[in-house]
Amino acid sequence: MLNSSLKAIRGSFVDFVDDPFSRSEVECVRYLQDGLMILENGKILEFDTYANLSDRYSHLPTEIYEGLILPGFIDLHVHYPQTEMIAAYGEQLLEWLDKYVFPTEQKFQDLDYARKIASFFLDQLLLNGTTTAVVLTTIFSGSVEVLFEEAQKRSMRLIAGQMLMSRNAPNFLINEPHKADAENRKLIHKWHGKDRLLYAITPRFAITSTETELKLAGKLKAEFPDVYIHTHLSENLKEIEFTASLFPDSTDYLNVYEQFGLIGDRSIFAHCVHLSDSAFQRLSLAGAAIAYCPTSNLFLGSGLFNLEQAKSKAYPVKVGLGSDVGAGTSFSQLKSMGEAYRISQLQQQNLSAFKAFYLATLGGAKALSLDPKLGNFDLGKEADFVVLEPNATPLLTLRNSAYTGNLPLDAIASQLFGLMILGDERAIKATYINGELAQFRD
Ligand SMILES: [Zn+2]
C-alpha cells in the first residue's frame, strides 16, 4: 500500500558515523556517491545506495540534487538579539558588551521588535544551512517567548532560555534573581520538550550573576535535570581576572559553575579559550560540552582555542561550533570551520575538512546529547539536512574543475575544504527541516 507521506531524496551524501578525532577518518566518514534517502513524517526511514533501494521506491516522488547532501549544521552558541549589532568596531569583550551589546539588548523588552529580529535571525540560520541552534536571548522573558514561537512555526530544533543577569550590568538589564527564577519556571513548563524546542538555563556569565542567582540556577537544574545549562567560560583574560575577584573562594573560573551544580552532560560552555589542563579534564569527566566560536574569538581578540587539547585522547571533551553572532562575524558555519582551520594553523595544528564538518554536524549533536535524534543519516533520525553546492562561485568552480563524475573520498575532502575556506551562504543550495524544504537558493 502506497504511503503518501513518503518521499525520496537522491544525490551524493556525506555524513559521519563516528568521531574522526578519536579514530581514522575513513572509518568515520560515510559517503554514498549515488545515494537515496527515504523520508517518512520528517524522519529517515531508509538510507542506502540508489542501486540498493531504487527497486522498492521507484514510485515515490524523488527530489534529485547535484552537489553534496550533509546533515544540517548545528550552531552551539549564538545570540539572536545581537544580530543587528554584528561587526561593531574596536573593542574587546567587556568594553564591547558595555558599548554595543547592552544598549541593543534593552530594545528587546519591546515584543514586536523582538519578534521581528527573531524571525530575521531564524531565516538567517536557514539560509546558512543551520538547522539546530543553542540561542541566547535577553533578560526579558518575552524575548524568549517570541523566539520559541517563531522557531515552532518553522519546525526547528532550538534550545534557548532567558538570560540571567543580576549585577555588573546597566540597571535596564538587571533582573531580580527570584523574579527571574519564577519566569524561568514558567518558560520551562511552557516550552521545554514542546515540539522540537528545549530549554536552557542561561546565566550570561559568572560576572553578571550574584551567588544567590547561581544558587537558584543550580536548584532549578536539579529539579529539571534534562534542561540544559548554557553560559560563557574563560573567553577573555580581563573577564577571567574580574571573575576571580568576584568569587575569591573558587579555585578557577570553571569552579564557580561547579560550586553551584551547573556542570554536567547537558552543560554547554562557550569559548574555553584560556583553560588549564585541570579544567579541560573536569569538563571531560563531567561530560560537559564546549562551544568553540572561532570567528568570535578572532574578532574580539580573545585568543586561540586549543582544539587538539580539547579533543585529546586522554580527556576528550565534547566540542561543537558556535557562530557567536554578534561577536562572531557570520551565521555561516562554513565560515566558522574556515576560521577554526586558521586558528589551528596558528598553533601548528591541522584541522581536516572531515574533522571540521564533523564538529558542525554529529559533533554538535553529541555535544547536546541529541545524537540519538540528530547529526547524521542513521535510520529513525530527524531529517534535517543541507544540500551544499561545491561550485557556488566562479572561483570555486575554477578550483574544482578537475572534479567530475564519480569522485573518490579524497576529492570529496578537497571539495569540502574548498567550501570551508571559500564558501558562505551562497554554497547552501537547500535546507531541509524535519523532512521539508525550508530554504532553496535559485
Ligand atoms: Zn556569546
What is the 78 CA–ligand 1 centroid distance (Å)? Answer: 6
What is the 79 CA–ligand 1 centroid distance (Å)? Answer: 6
Q: 292-332 pLDDT, tens per residue?
A: 999 999 999 999 999 999 999 999 999 999 999 999 999 99
pLDDT tier at 404, thresholds 50, 70, 90: confident
Residue 308: which of 270, 258, 343, 271 has the closest Cα? 343
What is the 434 CA–ligand 1 centroid distance (Å)? Answer: 27
What is the 188 CA–ligand 1 centroid distance (Å)? Answer: 22
d(CA 213, CA 199): 18
pLDDT tier at 84, thresholds 50, 70, 90: very high
- Which pLDDT belongs to residue 103? 97
What is the 209 CA–ligand 1 centroid distance (Å)? Answer: 15
Dihedral of alpha carbons 374, 388, 360, 22, sign: positive
Whether 302 contacts 93, CB under 8 Å: yes
- pLDDT reading at 406 higher than 80: yes
What is the 83 CA–ligand 1 centroid distance (Å)? Answer: 12
- pLDDT reading at 1 higher than 50: no
- pLDDT reading at 3 higher than 70: no
Q: 258-301 pLDDT, tens per residue?
A: 999 999 999 999 999 999 999 999 999 999 999 999 999 999 99
Phi-psi region of 345 (alpha: psi -120 to 50; beta: other; left: phi over 0): alpha
- Which pLDDT belongs to residue 405? 80
What is the 41 CA–ligand 1 centroid distance (Å)? Answer: 34
Burial code (b: 16+ CB inside 10 Å, e: under 16) for 334-346 equals bbbbbbbbebbee
- Which pLDDT belongs to residue 4? 62
- Which pLDDT belongs to residue 442? 87
- Which pLDDT belongs to residue 210? 98
Mean pLDDT computed over 192-201: 98
What is the 350 CA–ligand 1 centroid distance (Å)? Answer: 25
Phi-psi region of 136 (alpha: psi -120 to 50; beta: other; left: phi over 0): beta
Percent of the chain exceeding pLDDT 70 equals: 99
What is the 432 CA–ligand 1 centroid distance (Å)? Answer: 26
- pLDDT reading at 243 higher than 60: yes
What strands, in cross-sheet order, belong to the sheet with 428-433? 43-49, 29-40, 6-16, 62-71, 385-388, 428-433, 436-440
Q: Which residues contact 125 (CB under 8 A, 6 or more apart)?
A: 75, 78, 131, 133, 156, 331
Q: 346-359 pLDDT, tens per residue?
A: 999 999 999 999 99
Q: Which residues contact 334 (CB under 8 A, 6 or more apart)?
A: 128, 129, 419, 420, 423, 424, 427
The rounded mean pLDDT for the chain is 97
Mean pLDDT computed over 368-372: 98
Residue 162: which of 188, 196, 131 has the closest Cα? 188
Mean pLDDT computed over 173-190: 98
What is the 296 CA–ligand 1 centroid distance (Å)? Answer: 8
What is the 211 CA–ligand 1 centroid distance (Å)? Answer: 21
Pairing of strands 29-40, 228-233: unpaired
- pLDDT reading at 76 higher than 90: yes
